[in-house]
Amino acid sequence: MVDGADRAVVLEVADLCVELGIGGTWVRALDDVSLTIHRGETLGLVGESGSGKSLTALSVARLLPDNARVVRGSVRLLGEDVLAKGARELDRMRARSVAFIFQNPTTYLNPVLTVGRQVAELFELNPELLDSAEGIGRWSRRELGRQAWRKSIEYLGLVKIPDPERIVTQYPFELSGGMQQRVVIAMALARRPDLIIADEITTALDVTIQAQILSLLSELRRSIGMTLLLITHDMGIVAQLADRVAVMYSGRVVEVADARSLFRDAQHPYSKALLETVPTIHGSRAVFRPIPGSMPALTDAPAGCRFHPRCAYVLPECSSVTPLALRTGPGHTVACHRYEAPAG
C-alpha cells in the first residue's frame, strides 16, 4: 500500500504553471506543480488558502476561471493530456472520469429535484453504469427509470444514509449538511470515476458529522478502492485518510512524501511548522508556535523560495534561487536548499 511504483498511474501533473490575470497583470498562481496519483491511492493535498491547492484540482478537469491561463506543463489523466482535449472529449471526461466533491453540498445539489431524482438521472443518462446482466438496450424508458431508481437507493445505502427508501423522496433542503454531503458522495461514486477530487468536503460540517464522513470515506477506500485526491488544510484529516501527502505553499509544491514519513520526519520548514503550529488536545496544555508573518499575496511573491521570509532555517541562496524538488528518500521529495548536496 505504501509503494505505488508498480501500480497504474491515474493522474500525472508535470511542471504545471498557471497564471491568473489580476489587476491588469499576469500573476503566477501555480508554479511548476507536479503530482502523481496511482490507482487506489489517496493523495492528500495540504495547504492554506492561497496556496493553490484548489486551483490545481480545477486544472485537472480544466475547470479554470476565465482569467486563468496555462503557461506550461501537462496534466495527464490515464495517459491522456487533458490540456489538449477538444470540447466534447472534455465533457465526456468530466462526466465519467473525474468526479468532484466540493465544500458546500447545498450549492451542488439541484434544489427543485428530489435527491433520488438527481442520483437516478445519472443512471438514466449513462445506462452502462447500471451494468445489468440483461441487455440494457432492450429496456423501455420506464424500465430504465425503475432500474435507475433502484440503483440510486442502493448507492445511498452505500454512503450509509439511514432509511434510503424514504430519503430518496426528499428534497435537498430537507436534509442536513452531513446527509447532503453523503448524497454528493453517492453521486460521485455512481459515476465510477477513475479519480475523485474532494475539496475541503468537511470544512462546513460540524465536527461529529465530519467524523462520520471521514469514517465513511475510510471504509469506502478499503471496500471499493477509490482513487482520491483529498484537498484540505487539516493535517488530522490527512493523517486519517491519505496514503501520500503533497504540501503546497504559495503556488508551489514544497514537499511530497507518504503519510507516515511526513508526520514522522517532515523535512520542508513549512511542513514542519504546519505540523507544529496546531496545538494538540492531548498531553499538557498547548504551546503555540505560530509561524511569523503570513502567506504572501500572489502579486507580492518573494524571489527565490517563496517561504524564505518566514523560514527559521533560511540560507543565503534562498532569497534568490528557486529550490528544485529533490529526492531525499523513497517517494519523498522536498524543494528546499537545505537538502541540496554541497557543491564540489
Q: Which stretch binds another protein (CB under 8 A): 22-30, 34-42, 89-97, 289-297?
A: 289-297
Q: How far is the CB of 254 from another protein (least distance, A)?
A: 14
* CA pair distance 44, 238, nearest whole angstrom: 6
| 23 interacts with another protein by CB under 8 A | no
| 169 interacts with another protein by CB under 8 A | no
* Total binding residues toward another protein, as defined by CB under 8 A: 46
Q: Which stretch binds another protein (CB under 8 A): 3-11, 147-155, 228-236, 321-329?
A: 228-236
* CA pair distance 313, 334, nearest whole angstrom: 14
Contact partners, residue 245, CB within 8 Å, separation at least 6: 43, 44, 45, 46, 238, 255, 256, 257, 258, 259, 262
Q: Residue 146 or 260: which CB sits closer to another protein?
A: 260
Q: Which of 112, 285, 312, 342 binds another protein (CB under 8 A)?
A: 285
* CA pair distance 160, 164, nearest whole angstrom: 9
| 29 interacts with another protein by CB under 8 A | no
Burial of 159-179, coded b for 16+ CB within 10 Å and e otherwise, reads bbbeebeebbeeebeebebbb
140: number of Cβ within 10 Å: 8
DSSP label at 96?
I
| 21 interacts with another protein by CB under 8 A | no
Q: How far is the CB of 25 from another protein (least distance, A)?
A: 17
Q: Which stretch binds another protein (CB under 8 A): 23-31, 35-43, 136-144, 281-289?
A: 281-289
Cell numbers for 135: 441487455
The contact set with another protein (CB under 8 A) reads 48-49, 162, 176, 178-179, 206-212, 214-215, 218, 233-240, 259-260, 263, 273-275, 277-286, 288-291, 294-295
